[in-house]
Structure 1
Amino acid sequence: MRSDSGTDGQKGSTFIEQARRRQIVDAAVATVAGQGFGAASLAAIARTAGVSKGVISYHFSGKEELMEACVERVYTGIAERVVPKLEGLSALDMIREHILSVAHDGMTHRDEILAVGEIVTHLRTKDGSLRYTARDNEALYEGLEYMYAAAVEQGAAREFDHRVMAVTVQASLDAMFGYWAVHPEHDLMAHAAQLADLVVAAVRGPG
């Protein structure tokens, strides 16, 4: 009897804690997006979440861990929403659709894009160095390289350095969102379509 009750209680506690962490991360994303990284103190995030600062401190060791959770949540969400749209496409169509789908996802999740931009630009470790650098893009580069290799294997693309192209395309996507963040009137999807055309033309090569 006691064993069953303890197990159920643990399951309930785990579910509640996970839901609370999601609530706090959502509030952190909204606060950073709306007020900027510097103004997004734990107290400000607590107000957005409608909880006490102590509740946040129970779930996260500090602002750095909470910001890391925000970045992880955003990039995981993008992957979960975008990757299924690429399934079954030819390699060149996949390359194009990836850019368009990432742009559309950003357009429909603007707060997440703004928050990640703020966090990546400002979050520093205890020694003062930036927490996020190009080294953290490895999984993104590898995903792009996979598409480029498939295009070459299918005979739809020329031979080229996949890492150079991956770094270039990821930087272009980051710049696209950065420009849109400060120019919200900018036509993001038109920008993405132009970028997709450029990348496909570069991958395909002359002929």
Structure 2
Amino acid sequence: MRSENNPAGQKRSFIEEARRAQIVAAAIDTIAEVGYPNASLARIAEEAGVSKGVISYHFAGKDELMDQLVTGVYTEIAESVVPRLLAQDNAADMLRAHVRGVAAYALEHRSRMAALAQIFIHALRPDGSPRYGAGESEPLYESLEGLYREGQRSGEFRDFDVRAMAVTQQSATDGMFEYWRVHPDHDLMAHAAELGEQLVRATRAD
């Protein structure tokens, strides 16, 4: 299995990175279409137009492939949202832009969001616990805490526990996406705008 054999410090070639990206894209499409339980490596390989052995060459197994998929999507979301935040003049507008930004990304990348939902629901650790539970959300909480602290420093936000608010926002965002997944005709951007306003009202200084 190639992935675990990549010695520390060695960079993958352009061709290797392109092949890994191709496999991840095929995994997204396969999971979005047939669900995580039915997305075997063989089926993903068929979608990618490669042999199962090619996947095993680049990834140690399905778990590592899923880790790469999840990391890649979250990186894309961050790269999409951050410029929206930097374009704002105050913390309240940054908070609104954050919620609307992740919703806008979801609308543009439905298959990615569908794949994530399947992975979060069905991917389990050997002990049966979720592979992507709250323990893996630390980077999300930390980024939201930074936004809240900035608002507190500027005097726009009241004094509150930033971790509690970060967990609340992320839970509300997850709930928004889950409702949208079940009700695909739901107005996601309107929901995001309302959620953003609720968060601003909950955090603004009296």
Calculate percent identity across the aligned residue pairs. Answer: 54
Q: Deviations over 1:88-131 (max 9, x none)?
A: 42111111100011110111011111111111221122333321
Aligned to 1:131: 131
Residue 69 (structure 1) shift? 0.9
Q: Please list every run of 5 or more consecutive structure 2 residues that lacks an aligned counterpart in the other structure.
A: 1-9
Q: Report if aligned partners of 2:155, 2:205 keep a CA contact under 8 Å in 1.
A: no
Aligned to 2:189: 189
Q: Deviations over 1:5-61 (max 9, x none)?
A: xxxxx99x7111110000000000111111110110111111111111111111111
Select the structure of larger CA radius of gyration. 1
Question: TM-score of the superposition, structure 2-length normalised?
Answer: 0.91
SS at match of 1:143: helix
User: Structure 1 residues 127-136 or 24-33, which shifts more?
Assistant: 127-136
Q: Report if aligned partners of 2:100, 2:196 keep a CA contact under 8 Å in 1.
A: yes
- Pair 1:200-2:194 in alignment: no
- Pair 1:122-2:126 in alignment: no
The letter of the residue matching 1:70 is: L
Structure 2 CA distance for aligned equivalents of residues 14 and 35 of structure 1:
32
Aligned to 1:173: 173
Q: Deviations over 1:164-204 (max 9, x none)?
A: 11000000111111111111100000000110110000011
Question: TM-score of the superposition, structure 1-length normalised?
Answer: 0.90
Structure 2 CA distance for aligned equivalents of residues 71 and 51 of structure 1:
21
The letter of the residue matching 1:124 is: L
The letter of the residue matching 1:67 is: M
Structure 2 CA distance for aligned equivalents of residues 129 and 144 of structure 1:
25
The letter of the residue matching 2:30 is: T
